[in-house]
Amino acid sequence: MPPQISEQNLRKISGSKHVISAHVDVDNLSGSCKGSGRIQIRLNNGESADKVKLNFLRLGYQVNDFVRVNEKKSIITEIKPRDVKEITDPSAEKYSELIG
């Protein structure tokens, strides 16, 4: 992508009616585009991913699909099944801890 492109330009080039987010990687020192970016869209009736890709390819931009994985689990906050306990009566739990 050229150095002067902005997020608004990405939205216009896509031709999609519902752009969820657009992001251009910007060099902090020069304030210009580094040559890459990302756009997230929701396709409506009559729109297809191929049409959106073609809009970018016509201008000479390289297009890659990004697959978002929603199955990531955090190691820190993940609750393991063996750690889950149901506490109904605190005195019964204390008794079971004392017994052993």
- What is the tens place of the pLDDT at every residue in 5-42? 888 888 888 888 888 888 888 888 888 888 888 888 88
Query: Tens of pLDDT along 57-74?
Result: 898 888 888 776 666 666
What number of residues does the chain have? 100
> In this predicted structure, what is the pLDDT of residue 86?
62
The number of angstroms, rounded, from the C-alpha of 41 to the middle of its chain's C-alpha atoms is 11
Q: What is the mean pLDDT of residues 90-96?
A: 70
Query: According to CATH, what is the number of the domain 1-65?
Result: 3.30.70.330
> In this predicted structure, what is the pLDDT of residue 90?
67
Domain boundaries, the chain: 1-65
- What is the Cα–Cα distance from 99 to 96, expressed in whole angstroms? 5
Q: Write out the E strands in the chain.
A: 18-26, 33-42
pLDDT band at 78 (very low <50, low <70, confident <90, very high): low
- What is the Cα–Cα distance from 54 to 43, expressed in whole angstroms? 15
